[in-house]
Amino acid sequence: MKNISFGLLFLISFVASTQSLPKGFVYLSNIDASIQKELRYFTNNNFIGQPIDGYYKDVVIVSEETARALQKAQQHFLKDSLSLKIFDAYRPQQAVDHFVKWAKDLKDTLRKQDYYPSVPKSELFAQGYIASKSGHTRGSTVDLTLVNLKTNQEVDMGSTYDFFGKVSHPYNKVITEIQQKNRMLLRTVMLKNGFQPYENEWWHFTLKKEPFPKTYFNFPIE
């Protein structure tokens, strides 16, 4: 009887967590559990240096169409002992608002040397690094990289994720030839699987046929 009760409670808990998402959204792990994640905004390891508003659980949420497209890309990479690794996916508007509030506080430069050493914080808006709206909030944009499954190390892309600078532009020529090839491999496969790249960030891709092109969601990540 105890086992039945426990199983029932587990089922109720599972259903409740999945039903909390708006229609059309899924937990990526329910579609493809092989895709790795490091949800940076759930941790202190990001350009602000603290967990971001709206990130309450270490889970990746995306539109179902995006999840299916990522699954196809992942199958391509697995053949070469590589895996996608997600840094960010769906991002609630409250998180974007947190970024905006932080950007206006010019005294808070805790992670400047790691993420924006050459950009004055006062110019983050003007240079396009911070904005009041984000494609992530529509649920079909992802920030990601590749991991070598033989070494379990991230593939060298020439700059860190979320680095504010020209070295993060996909076609930047300051990086090495190998780093350029790694970026182009990621870009090529993502393009083949229905994603559109962003010209200022090698890690940023949006599903071309996104299901919610004009809707900015604000439900929390939990």
The SS3 call for residue 149 is coil
Distance CA 71, CA 31 (A): 7
Q: Which long-range contacts (CB under 8 A, 24 or more apart) does 106-112 make?
A: 108/48, 110/48, 110/49, 111/46, 111/47, 111/48, 111/49
Q: How many residues does the chain have?
A: 222
Per the annotation, the verdict on 199 as an active-site residue is no
In the set 65, 201, 210, 222, the catalytic residue is 201
Distance of CA 139 to the CA centre of its chain: 10
Distance CA 33, CA 113 (A): 34
Q: Which residues are catalytic?
A: 201
